[in-house]
Amino acid sequence: MAATPAADSLSGTFQQVTDFGTNPGNLAMYSYVPAGLPSGAPLVVALHGCIQSAGDYYRNSGWTKYADLYGFAVVFPQTGSANNSLSCFSWFDANKDGRGTGEAKSVVEMVAKAETLYGSDGRRVFVTGLSAGGGMAADLLADYPDVFAGGAIDSGLPAHCATAQSAASGCQNSDQHLTPAQWGDKVRRAYPGWTGPWPRVAIWQGSADTTVRPVNATELRDQWTNVWGVSQTASASHSLPGGTTQTVYNDAGGRPAVALYSIAGMGHGLAVSPGSGTDQCGATGSYFLNTVCSSYYTAQFWGLDDGLPPAPGLPAPTGLTATAAADSIALAWQPVTGSSSYEVYRGGTRLAGVTGTAFTDTGLAAGTTYAYTVAAVDSAGTVGARSATVTASTGGSTPQCFTDNNYNQVKAGRATQSVGLTYALGSGQAMGLWNLLTVHTLKQTGPGYFVLADGQC
């Protein structure tokens, strides 16, 4: 293995691994291995999105935090401009994303190398990816159900939706009008004769995604519930932080086989939630959006937290509300039995400790949105689980909206551009091509912070 410089790691090492196979897909292999990782630990493969690298995903996705916490290695495959002008994984190319071919085979060769190097448990190998990486993750789950026990598709595409690049945009933007059985057949044809078991699949999608439209999440749900032979009617539904709704589809034994996580108002990207809480992870940036820690909930869905002792402390407070005024926000919540005090967090950072079930945050900027959570503290001083996040916007000024083409939005300092693409300043939401023809409305919700608001202003 040849070591390369990387961002600060947690307990282990991020490095490049060479000589992992024939590598027909011309990919690079990077890995993160926690210090002292024993043989027999799980393995996660994490695929970056377009105009990203393995290093970006290592630094921002949050997977290394749970590698240390739960005990598993992470492989970060990397493609580049030699394969695709935007460094996208080729989820849309039948010569690169099928069993035994191209990039798909290179990823599986990385898995074999990791199993040899780190003693990873071949029965507990999982794959996840963002956008084009999500599309490739879906393809890999279909191509190699004998390799992957589970997967997660973040803002991605159904398995084998397109077989040529010319059809990619149609998959991203349009309903393909296929039945669940037709979607399921695309999976079954990827490895003919396979009789199971099938991977357990988590699907993450922002409701305001204009790059990979939310219909893709519905199609993924239809595809994998059909493969599992279960109903498209949900078995259960739960509310999670960040405006996230988890809808679960159980197998015949009552275990979740497919889970759909829909994030209200989120654009195109990977859901992260920076902070020190167990359920917080990652760092924000282009295509890394501050909503909820998807890596935490995905790891739980796969069962990577099995065997851990129960989390210490009291349960999370419920009923948290936030009432805004011109320069303050009043919080209130339901009491937790056994608590001696409460910790209040703003934006994931501790703000105050209080003995009652109310707190007012004062001296705030006008016309700005703030996010809060609270946690109960027991008599021993142990801080319990954090509540669901609530947000509120101070008054004093009305958030201003700006409708213009992407070129002018960048010129006015409300957006940035990279590699011909445009992103809202602050939120990092994708706005499409940097030109005079693509028009969006941006709403300023705080100093230097803009969000997509098409049709909302």
Confidence at residue 399, expressed as pLDDT on a 0 to 100 scale: 67
Alpha helices (runs of H) in 272-419, residue ranges in sequence order: 294-302, 406-411
Question: Confidence class of residue 210 from pLDDT cuts 50, 70 and 90?
Answer: very high
Of 61, 131, 155, 262, the catalytic one is 131
Residues in the chain: 457
Joined tokens for residue 412: 């006015």
pLDDT digits (tens, 9 = 90+) for 377-421: 988 887 777 777 787 888 765 568 899 999 999 888 888 877 678
Confidence at residue 280, expressed as pLDDT on a 0 to 100 scale: 95
Q: How far apart are CA 126 and CA 150, in angstroms?
A: 5
Residue 131 annotated in active site? yes
Query: Helix or strand or coil: residue 231?
Result: coil
pLDDT digits (tens, 9 = 90+) for 159-171: 999 999 889 999 9
At residue 310, does pLDDT exceed 50? no
| Domain layout of the chain by residue ranges | 13-302, 321-393, 401-452
- What is 321-393's CATH number? 2.60.40.10
Query: Helix or strand or coil: residue 307?
Result: coil
Percent of the chain's residues with pLDDT above 70: 94
Q: Which of 86, 106, 87 is nearest to 95 (CA)?
A: 106
At residue 311, does pLDDT exceed 50? no
Element (H, E) at 5: none
Confidence at residue 446, expressed as pLDDT on a 0 to 100 scale: 67
Q: Which of 328, 290, 295 is nearest to 451 (CA)?
A: 290
> Which range among 141-155, 367-381, 409-423 has the greatest average pLDDT?
141-155
Say how many Å lie between the first and final Cα of the chain, rounded: 54
Does this model's pTM top 0.75? no
Q: Positive or negative CA dihedral for 62, 63, 64, 69?
A: positive
Residues 6+ apart with CB under 8 A from 70: 42, 299, 304, 305, 308
Q: How far apart are CA 80 and CA 11, in angstroms?
A: 28
24-28, 292-296, 398-402, 444-448: range with lowest mean pLDDT: 444-448
Most distant CA pair in the chain, distance: 65
Domain 13-302 has CATH 3.50.50.60: no
At residue 301, does pLDDT exceed 70? yes
Confidence at residue 3, expressed as pLDDT on a 0 to 100 scale: 34
Mean pLDDT, residues 185-194 taken together: 92
Confidence at residue 4, expressed as pLDDT on a 0 to 100 scale: 35
Q: What is the mean pLDDT of the chain?
A: 89
